[in-house]
Structure 1
């Protein structure tokens, strides 16, 4: 990861923020900004603000000028919960949990075609699936019984 920005203790639930994060994860910077600007969710404003901070970090700390080849990585973690009590009928109490989030936006260089793959065979070696095990189509149970008596 080239650079990242973290926004912590945000008053939006992690579940709602992850819905927006899934929209922009893996997109280019320009695509992610366009998606976030037109998303109606409140979490989109917060993720957009964090993304702009990550862009500024990349430009200032790493002297990145071309943002076209950068991909966006977004992680939404749960933070602490603010606990409140709501009184209910017959003396009961109902806990209200205001969940907080930690949003991490990272910028990484896009992997080129074939980059990151190690050279090697395209097909897996050894047994795959269920072939060669047990009685399948074309194998009789009598053959396996004959092997069992031969080994005994």
Structure 2
């Protein structure tokens, strides 16, 4: 059975999250949490939090065994951008795009 957790409007670029998610995809959840815990990137902290949420969903809502769960899939989609301007030379303005992400983590038991 598959269980998922979704975090929407996370204030980090999707490109930065995608660099980290390859280290966790396909691993058992315990190994994935250990890997994310010791990575220095901000995305690793966010993914760890969402992965813990997916594990809690699997345990509480579907009565699945935590030890048999694996990280089946992680999807990062682009959310809306906050558009800001920075003053530049000669009275001009340069656009700054503050990107957001929608992150979905799917965990499944070994039988699936």
- Which residue of the partner structure matches residue 67 of structure 2? 68
- Which residue of the partner structure matches residue 100 of structure 2? 100
* Structure 1 unmatched ranges of 5 or more: 113-152
Query: Quick one: distance in 1 between partners of 2:59 and 2:68?
Result: 14
TM-score, normalisation: structure 2: 0.92
Indicate whether 1:87 and 2:87 are aligned: yes
- Which residue of the partner structure matches residue 25 of structure 1? 25
User: Secondary structure of the residue that 1:12 maps to in structure 2?
Assistant: coil
Q: Write out the 4+ residue segments of structure 1 that deviate beyond 3 Å after TM superposition.
A: none
Greater fraction strand: 2
Which entry has the higher C-alpha Rg, 1 or 2?
1
* CA deviation map 1:70-128 (0-9, x unaligned): 2212111111110001111112210000000111111023368xxxxxxxxxxxxxxxx
Query: Quick one: distance in 2 between partners of 1:100 and 1:35?
Result: 24
Task: Note if contact 2:64-2:109 (Cα within 8 Å) is conserved in structure 1.
Answer: no
What pairs up with 1:6-45 in 2 under 5 angstroms?
Answer: 6-45=6-45
Task: Note if contact 1:21-1:76 (Cα within 8 Å) is conserved in structure 2.
Answer: no
* Structure 2 unmatched ranges of 5 or more: none
Q: CA RMSD in A?
A: 1.4
User: Secondary structure of the residue that 2:54 maps to in structure 1?
Assistant: helix
Report the Cα offset of residue 68 of structure 1: 2.8
User: Secondary structure of the residue that 1:80 maps to in structure 2?
Assistant: coil
TM-score, normalisation: structure 1: 0.69
- Which residue of the partner structure matches residue 5 of structure 1? 5
